[in-house]
Amino acid sequence: MEYSKFLSELLQDYAGPGLSLVSFGAATLLPFSSEAALMGAIWSGLSPVEAVFWASIGNCAACAFNYSLGYWFGKKIETRISESKTYAGWAERMSRWGYWALGFSFLPFVGDPITVLSGFFRQKFWIFALIVFSLRILRYIVLAYGFGP
């Protein structure tokens, strides 16, 4: 079954929870747009409030998952790469500018890798969640009410 067809059927068959699953998948580096799913759900009859709620649940959960992956893999490979000049440079940049980088975490293409790097460099999760989740939810609110029916 084609990937986009599967996602469309998931939205049609399961409405809000389907949107949550699609939004989770889209935020874990899969090639799909949660924004398109959000708008498709609204245009298919899901209320903007419900659509924002379900898309936010899935997307924010995926961001936490990405953070966890980065954190887990960071612990596993840091000892192997800690002597690298490249690693030292990135670690220094992330300690200085890492939280500011989270301001770009809602953007397509760069946002999801930022969430993984945040975990890898062990940023405080509560700050990560506050910034990332707020921006993701705000993006959905703007889309749902700015471009919805």
Where along the chain do its domains lie?
Answer: 1-147
Q: Rounded CA gap, 14 and 25, in Å?
A: 15
CA distances from 128 to 19, 47, 70, 97, 116 (A): 23, 29, 13, 13, 11
Is residue 39 a contact partner of residue 148, using CB atoms and an 8 Å limit? yes
Residue-level pLDDT at 127: 95
Cβ neighbours for 33, distance < 8 A, ≥ 6 positions apart = 26, 108
Low-confidence ranges of the chain (pLDDT < 70): 1-14, 29, 78-85, 87-88, 90, 148-149
pTM reported for the whole predicted model: 0.83
Is residue 128 a contact partner of residue 102, using CB atoms and an 8 Å limit? yes
